[in-house]
Amino acid sequence: MQRFTLDRRASGVLLHPTSLPGPHGVGDLGPGAERFAAWLAESGQAWWQMLPMGPPGGGGVSPYYATSAFAGNPLLISLDRLAEDGLLGRDDLIPRGAAFADERVRFGAAGEFKLPRLRKALRAFETGASAAARDLLDAFRSANCGWLPDFALFCALKDDQGGRAWTDWPADLRRRVPSAGAAARDRFAAEVRFHEFLQFVYVAQWSRLREACRRLGVGLVGDMPIFVAHDSAEVWSNPELFCLDAQGRQTVQAGVPPDYFSATGQLWGNPLYRWDRLQATGYEWWLARLRAQFVQFDLVRLDHFIGFHRCWEIPFPAKTAERGRWVLVPGRDFLETVRRVLGRIPLIAEDLGLIVREVEELRDRFEFPGMRVLQFNFGTDAEADKYRPHSYPRRCVVYTGTHDNDTTVGWFRDPGTKKTAKEREQMRAERALALHYLGTDGREIHWDMLRLALQSVADLAIIPMQDVLGLGTEARMNVPGTTEGNWDWRMRGEAATPDLARRLFTLTKICGRLPARG
């Protein structure tokens, strides 16, 4: 069986499970995921990278704004697997009315279709599950007692409150008065059981997928956002760890100052941590969070690694990230605690953007690979040469692009109609330099960039599936600073072909990145 490690040359593909093809409006952890894992193995890939797997909150769909740092997204539960387990009938799997489209995730419609069937699966479990299956559920509850009871009650209360943020709940629930919590747990016992069951099923299906990936020699790469959503079970149940007022409302919010992605910065809106209080507990909450990640994944990307040195603190309720201040974080002490308690866990430091020397020193002190993105590597400024692929260190992960970038084809063909004349000229200069550097005419720019990533000295190369397929801007996953039309791209069922696998396998082999499976 494959031993997953960062100390050898390898490559992989970035594809979030929601983007997988499937019959129920959204990709899931079922047969389609296992078929994709098999395709990755056939293609010679050692890694499958995903976006955060938590349940999106705030009425949105962003995986970076979840209602829990520990729970999985119930929308990813496979109904097909539930039918295999005898908890649903085959008729339950057939969408009524118009079939779900392949091209886009239909989050709302998928939820409306899946939720009644998930409730039906619980009823079937409660009336017909074996003693062994019930024991497994009890063991799951016990193993996850640090977060599951609060999360399940949070979900039940949120449903009862019509989806309102927890800061708008009655005061005794908002403040978690023990007597009110006990009464609510009794009153909503059925709903609490439902949400616990969803997480039990999610973990069971995830474990099955992970075991299949292990047999195939494909490691799983997770993505852990540094921040959590304000309207989340974690902030509601641990308000003392966050910068909140006496009513639980934010006093400041997270983001980044103006940068490449946005002239007004990125206003994420997440609450900032009280690092002094986290430090006083020995970072217990963070350690639990990291342990949970490595139950699921073989390798984890730490999103916004700069935030472990300093955070951009924006007054609440500012509408842009332009006005703020940098606040230092005890990142070195935190990461030393992580190493002492958890050992040398494999982490990727997302160190993109305007980083400072101290961030690089923190990354290198703990020997985390940083990130390189080819779309950023053809600038013409005085510092640009050190970011060219020929200057990469071995200890890094190279991407053609990330979930926040346009696809490579979209990036190359972007006419820049919404940009200034100066910005368009800069774009043309970067594209021209890229063509010279690649020695190509750009007709298959996605394969040119993919080849460059695989040929680089970087220990690990990760390619978004959209770039493997050569798709344009229509397949872009996210546009930072916008809230509409993101996260909903889906791969067509016939897209990952054997011919494509053979082509990717050949290039991976030539570049010395095939995994040593056996």
CATH label of the domain that carries residue 249: 3.20.20.80
Q: Which of 231, 234, 298, 303 is catalytic?
A: 303
Is-catalytic flag, 350? yes
Band (pLDDT 50/70/90 cuts) for residue 355 is confident
Q: Identify whether 317 is preceded by a cis peptide bond (ω within 30 of 0).
A: yes
One-letter amino acid identity for 449? Answer: M
Number of Cα atoms under 13 Å in the Cβ half of residue 55 = 25
Contact 433, 377 (CB under 8 A): no
- How many distinct structural domains can be found in the chain? 1
Q: Is 518 part of a structural domain of the chain? A: no
What value does the mean pLDDT take over residues 109-135?
Answer: 96
Three-state DSSP state, 22: coil
pTM equals: 0.96
**Cβ-contact 272, 308 below 8 angstroms:** no
Q: What is the mean pLDDT of residues 332-356?
A: 94
User: Is 384 a residue whose pLDDT tops 90?
Assistant: no
**Cβ atoms of residues 454 and 513 within 8 Å:** yes
Query: For this structure, is 333 an active site residue?
Result: no
Distance from chain centroid for Cα 447: 25
Phi-psi region of 403 (alpha: psi -120 to 50; beta: other; left: phi over 0): alpha
**Residue 428: half-sphere exposure toward Cβ, Cα within 13 Å:** 9
pLDDT of residue 99: 65
- What is d(CA 217, CA 231) in angstroms, rounded to the nearest whole number? 38
- pLDDT, tens digit, 9 for 90 and up, residues 423-454: 899 999 999 999 999 999 999 999 999 999 99
- What single DSSP character describes residue 19? G
**pLDDT tens-digit profile of 204-221?**
999 999 999 999 999 999
What mean pLDDT is predicted for residues 238-242?
97
Instruction: Return the structure tokens found at 506.
Output: 């050949």
Would residue 515 count as lying in a domain? Answer: no
Q: Which among 150, 223, 234, 350 is annotated as catalytic?
A: 350
- Nearest alpha carbon to residue 95 among 107, 78, 108, 112: 112
Q: How confident is the model at residue 357 (pLDDT cuts 50, 70, 90)?
A: very high
Any domain includes 61: no
**pLDDT per position as a tens digit, 141-173:** 999 999 999 999 999 999 999 999 999 999 999
The number of angstroms, rounded, from the C-alpha of 175 to the middle of its chain's C-alpha atoms is 30
Burial annotation 84-116 (CB, 10 A radius, 16+ → b, else e): ebebbeeeebeeeeeebeeeebbbebbeebbee
Confidence band of 484 (pLDDT split at 50, 70, 90): confident
Tokens of 452: 């460059």
Q: CA-to-CA distance for 242 and 99, rounded, in angstroms?
A: 44
Handedness of CA 293, 193, 158, 233 (dihedral sign): negative
Give the Cα separation of 420 and 456 in Å (integer).
Answer: 33
CB 397 within 8 A of CB 370: yes
Residue 383: active-site member: no
Average pLDDT of every residue of the chain: 94
pLDDT of residue 100: 76
Out of 28, 231, 234, 404, which one is annotated catalytic?
404
The reply to whether 68 falls in a domain is no
**Burial letters for 178-213: b for 16+ Cβ neighbours within 10 Å, e otherwise?**
eebbeebeeebeebbbbbbbbbbbbbbbbebbbebb
Which pLDDT score is estimated for 482?
80
Instruction: Choose among 401, 418, 424, 420: nearest CA to 472.
Output: 401
User: CA dist 496 to 210, 345, 453, 456, 499, Å?
Assistant: 20, 32, 20, 25, 8
User: Mean pLDDT over residues 7-36, rounded?
Assistant: 96
- Measured CA to CA, the distance from residue 514 to residue 511 in angstroms comes to 8
Predicted confidence at residue 7, as pLDDT, reads 80
Say if residues 393 and 364 touch (Cβ distance below 8 Å).
no
Contact 462, 47 (CB under 8 A): yes
Whether 517 is covered by a domain: the verdict is: no
Domain assignment present for residue 215? The answer is yes
What are the pLDDT digits (tens) for 286-327?
Answer: 999 999 999 999 999 999 999 999 999 999 999 999 999 999
pLDDT in tens, 51-109: 999 999 866 789 999 999 999 999 999 999 999 999 999 999 988 765 676 789 989 99
**135 is in which domain, residue-wise?**
10-54+74-510
Q: Contact at 8 Å (CB) between 489 and 426?
A: no
Sign, Cα dihedral of 13, 15, 21, 27: positive
Sequence-distant (6+) residues with CB within 8 A of 253 are: 267, 268, 269, 270, 271, 272, 314, 315, 316, 317, 318
Q: How confident is the model at residue 3 (pLDDT cuts 50, 70, 90)?
A: low
Alpha-carbon separation of residue 171 from 67, 168, 190, 248, 404 (angstroms)? 20, 8, 23, 10, 39
Closest by CA position to 312, among listed 266, 280, 346: 266
Taking 70 as the threshold, does the pLDDT of residue 388 lie above it?
A: yes
- Pairwise CA distance, residues 425 & 435, whole Å: 16
Model confidence at 1, pLDDT cuts 50, 70, 90, reads very low
Q: Is residue 65 part of a domain?
A: no
The amino acid occupying position 341 is: V
**Is there a domain that residue 482 lies in?**
yes
Helix (H) or strand (E) holding 13: strand 10-14
Asked if 313 contacts 325 with a C-beta cutoff of 8 angstroms, the reply is: yes
